[in-house]
Every structure is written in C-alpha cells, then in structure tokens.
Structure 1
Amino acid sequence: MLLEKLIGLLAVWIMSVISTMGYGGIVLLMAIESACIPLPSEIIMPFAGYLVFKGEMVLWIVALMGALGCVLGSIPAYYVGKTGGRQLAEKYGRFVLISKKDLKMADDWFKNYGEIIIFLGRLLPAVRTFIALPAGIARMNMTKFIIYTFVGSFIWCWALAYTGMVFGEHWDSLKVYFHEFHYVIAGGAIIFIIWYIRRHFQNN
C-alpha cells in the first residue's frame, strides 16, 4: 500500500535524523511530537535505545534529551491553548490529526484530575501528544507545567529507550526473523500511525 510505504519512509527518516544529529536529533523529534504533531515517540526513543545498546549513546542522556525536547515542544502548544483557547485548537487541530474527541478527552482528564494530569498524561500514549493544550487553556502555572512535563517525559523516554536497549541485547535471537533492526521499527511505525490516522477520522 502507498500509505504503508510513506509511513515506512517516515520511520527511516526518524532513524536517519537520530543517526545524523545524535542527541540533537532526539531533542528535535521529541519537540515535534510534543507540539501536538503525532510523530510517534514509541519509534523515536526505542531506536535511540538501540543506539545505546550499540555503545553510540548513553541511556540517561538519551532520556534527558527526550525530556528536554518534550518541554521545548510543549511550551508553544501551551501558549496556543493560553492565547487562542479551545476554539483555536478545535479549528486548526485537524491539520495535525487532533480530533475534537481528543481535545475533549484531554479537557476531561485535566478537569477530573487537576494539574497532576500533566505528569500522568506524559506517561500515556496519544494523550501525551496534546495534553499541553488544556493546560494552556486553564492557564496552569508555567513553572509547575514545565516541572510536571519534564519529570513525566523523562520517565516515558527512559522506559522506551530502555526497551530499545533490551531488544538490542537480544538481537542475536531476533536476527533469525529480521534482516535489519530498522524493519522492526518501521513495522511499529506503520501500525501506530495507521491506527492514529484511522482513529482521527472516526472521531471527527
């Protein structure tokens, strides 16, 4: 399918960015993911973890750079919510595959659980991508927002990178089934993004 090929190219591009830019590539990609653009951290961080296994990166630095990227990407999203409010997010959210149902879910989580949801939301797939918007709409204290975002993102990034590192440790048993590790990552990207796009159109 054409869509699968395009998504496969996206996965290869993600790996290329990290391979070329190193830690800076992790910051860049995670900033994009946290700016309400569905670039899957579930692909970015495990590949970085694989590079940890290869000895090209250090696990705690990988997690730190991922969390830093999340903070940098979340700040613009926060201010979009703060200055434009929900109306702006609803009007333009569809251009980055954020549905009204996604926004309502984030709003409900924020109202039900309070500011701590910024921390918890960073540990949840999909929610983490756009949780900054309701924080901005609610005019959450910026210092708290940054702290919660950083701590939650660090845990998330560390866990995903560690998973990638573990897969690397078992590479000898996996290579019977896969010619290259990037095929595993590309397959994951295809599944995740197809699900996300389908979910977006179903919820609009």
Structure 2
Amino acid sequence: MFDLITAWLAAMGSFGVAALMLLENVFPPIPSELIMPFAGYLAANGTLSFAAVVIAGTAGSVAGAFLWYQIGSLVTEPRLRRFIARHGRWLTISVADLERALSWFDRHGRTAVFLGRMVPGVRTLISIPAGMTGMRTLPFLLYTALGSLIWTTALTVSGYVLKAQFARVEVLINPVTNILLLLVASLYVWRLLNSRQSR
C-alpha cells in the first residue's frame, strides 16, 4: 500500500494531494495522517515540491471544510440530525459525531473552527455549526485555512524529516498501512451493519 499511495501521489502530483485531502474531509477513506506524511516523503526525495504539497493539502482541506460549512448554512439542526440518522452511515458520520462538533463549537466559539482543524474526530464536522450559527464566510475561511495550514505543514514535515526512515522501513510500512486501511474498511462496514441493526 505504501508503494500504491506514493506512486499515485507521484503520478497525480499536487492535484492528487488536494483531491485526497478534500475526500478525507468529506468521506475519510484515507486519513490525512497517512496522506500528508507520504506527500512529505515524496517532497524529501525530490518527486514533489514541499511548498506545493503544503498548499495543495491545505487547499483540499479547506475545500472539504467549506462544503460542510455550506451544508450547515442551508439546513436546520433537526433536519440535519434526521439526515445523519438515516444516511450518515454511508459517510461514516453519526449523530454523536455531530453532537461532539456542536459541543466543541459551543465551548470554544469561533476559535473552534481554527482548533478543530487539528483535532481528529472533530475536524470533519466542525464546519457545520459554523454554518448553522451564521459565522461569516471570510472569517470562517481564514480560521479554517490557518488551522489546516498548521496541520498539513506538521504532517508534511514529519514525512519530510523521516525520509531516511521511510526508505529503511518501507518493508514494515507496507504491511502496517495495509493493516490500517483494512481496519478503516472494517470499521466502515461495522458501522454500516450496526446502523442497520439499530434501525
């Protein structure tokens, strides 16, 4: 899987980084904790530009967050709850996830948008309460971009710095990433089945 992801990113370049980060924010098939370090590794060996990787990762992340912001601004909370209760399993989102994001936003206000970009489990949905409460678009995009920039830069740096280790332990990374993606897929299937049984 290491070879597959790095080959795909190398072939698609910065566009591939942006696309995967957008997908990770809408429907997380591959977490950003895998995407950006791999992209950083490719930047370290000269395949990609470090600056382009960070910009693309941030842009994809902001685009995904803005989609959820728009959804939050267009629907009411009860309607969104009903939608997630019925169809959220396909997006690996539960009502509990929505409640966590709403609670996070209530506690931290606008800074939740900034901080939430760096918190797994909150990152995907923190944009919804921002849209629901009528947070203005420009401040939302600014906070989101800053938080996403810090997060993607940190992950890219980790891959860049660990270039030598990536090369040494590639034999171990392949099975580890395979297991991780298998666990993600298994969790997705489990949530689908569990949701169906609950209904």
TM exceeds 0.5?
A: yes
| 2:181 alignment counterpart | 189
| 2:104 alignment counterpart | 109
Instruction: Tell me the TM-score normalized by structure 2.
Output: 0.82
Distance 1:48 1:172, change over 3 A: closer
Q: 2:145 aligns with which of 142, 146, 150?
A: 150
Deviation of 1:190 after TM superposition, in Å, equals 3.5
State whether residues 53 and 169 of structure 1, in contact with CA within 8 Å, keep that contact through their aligned partners in structure 2.
no
Q: Separation in 2 of the partners of 1:144 and 1:51?
A: 33
Q: 2:28 aligns with which of 38, 58, 80?
A: 38
CA shift digits 1:60-118 (9 cap, x unpaired): 32111111111112222111111113234331333201011100000000011101101
> % of aligned pairs identical?
34
| 1:168 alignment counterpart | 163
Deviation of 1:193 after TM superposition, in Å, equals 5.4
Q: Separation in 2 of the partners of 1:126 and 1:197?
A: 18
1:98 partnered with 2:93: yes
State whether residues 59 and 158 of structure 1, in contact with CA within 8 Å, keep that contact through their aligned partners in structure 2.
no
1:122 partnered with 2:120: no
Deviation of 1:140 after TM superposition, in Å, equals 1.1
Paired residue type of 2:177 = I
Report the more deviating stretch, 164-173 or 67-76.
Answer: 164-173
State whether residues 10 and 47 of structure 2, in contact with CA within 8 Å, keep that contact through their aligned partners in structure 1.
no
CA shift digits 1:147-168 (9 cap, x unpaired): 1111111111111111122332
Instruction: Tell me the TM-score normalized by structure 1.
Output: 0.80
State whether residues 63 and 158 of structure 1, in contact with CA within 8 Å, keep that contact through their aligned partners in structure 2.
yes
**Secondary structure at the counterpart of residue 93 of structure 2:** coil
Report the more deviating stretch, 76-85 or 117-126.
Answer: 76-85
Q: Separation in 2 of the partners of 1:150 and 1:27?
A: 13
Q: Separation in 1 of the partners of 2:62 and 2:98?
A: 20
- 5+ residue gaps, structure 2, are none
Q: Separation in 2 of the partners of 1:56 and 1:71?
A: 24
Q: Separation in 2 of the partners of 1:162 and 1:198?
A: 34
| 2:59 alignment counterpart | 68
| 1:136 alignment counterpart | 131
Distance 1:25 1:151, change over 3 A: same
Q: 1:48 aligns with which of 34, 39, 46?
A: 39
CA shift digits 1:2-47 (9 cap, x unpaired): xxxxxx6xx7765454222100011111111222x12311111111
State whether residues 67 and 150 of structure 1, in contact with CA within 8 Å, keep that contact through their aligned partners in structure 2.
yes
